[in-house]
Amino acid sequence: MKRDHHSYRPMLAQAIRAPFSSKDWVFEIKWDGIRAISYVDEELSITSRNGMELKHNFPELHELKDLTRNAVVDGEIVVMKDQKADFQAVLERSRTTSLRDIEYLSHRSPATYVLFDILEKDGKALTDLPLAERKRILKDSVRDGEHVIISVFEEEEGESYYEAAIKRGIEGVVAKRKDSRYELGTKSSSWLKIKRDSHPATV
């Protein structure tokens, strides 16, 4: 029998100009992809920020059903090209309607779903727990697969992490307070994004 989950709107990050370091924060890659919240039970739903169902466009992500049970997880769907996230490629995949083209693109431009949060487990909402605790539950509740991975984060050293990310051609980083609750549908100051194009280059 299908379990009824709550419906969740994603928590969003505010933009700031410069990276920083702090023992109270964790730092993650800012992936250039499609934000998606997934509801995993006997059935699977992968939902975009605007409520669009994505599971049909990304059949390779159906493995999520084998990697966790009775969970609601949050993350970013990306398509990697030359070791970088290619936003146009993932956008093309999200807009493809032909079953034959979807199948072809799933092999030519396979997606990776990078999970960074868990909002519900076994029918219990986790949004009021601090981020650090949700990260532990996510790691305990979901296995890595071929196309689904748990986000790796850095603690404290935000500035060096940002510089390393930029050198690799990554768009930027997201800083998150370890004690932050998940604020549904809110652009929160507890999550901060620092993008390459918003940070003045140093000479």
Coil, strand or helix at 116 = strand
The 10s digit of each residue's pLDDT in 99-124 is 999 999 999 999 999 999 999 999 99
Check pLDDT > 60 for residue 198.
no
Domain boundaries, the chain: 12-196
- CA distance linking residue 109 with residue 127, whole number of Å: 33
Cα-based torsion angle of the residue sequence 27, 60, 63, 165 in order, rounded to the nearest 10 degrees? -10
Active site members: 30
Pairing relationship of beta strands 148-150 and 111-121 according to DSSP bridges: parallel
Instruction: Say yes or no: domain 12-196 is CATH 3.30.470.30.
Output: yes
Tens digit of pLDDT for each residue in 76-91? 999 999 888 999 999 9
* Residues 140-192 pLDDT 10s: 999 999 999 999 999 999 999 999 999 998 989 999 999 999 999 999 999 99
The reported pTM is: 0.92
pLDDT at residue 199 is higher than 90: no
Burial 51-90 (b: 16+ CB within 10 A, else e): eeebbebbebbeebeebbebbbbbbbbbbbeeeebbeebb
Phi then psi for residue 180, to 5 deg, are -75, 135
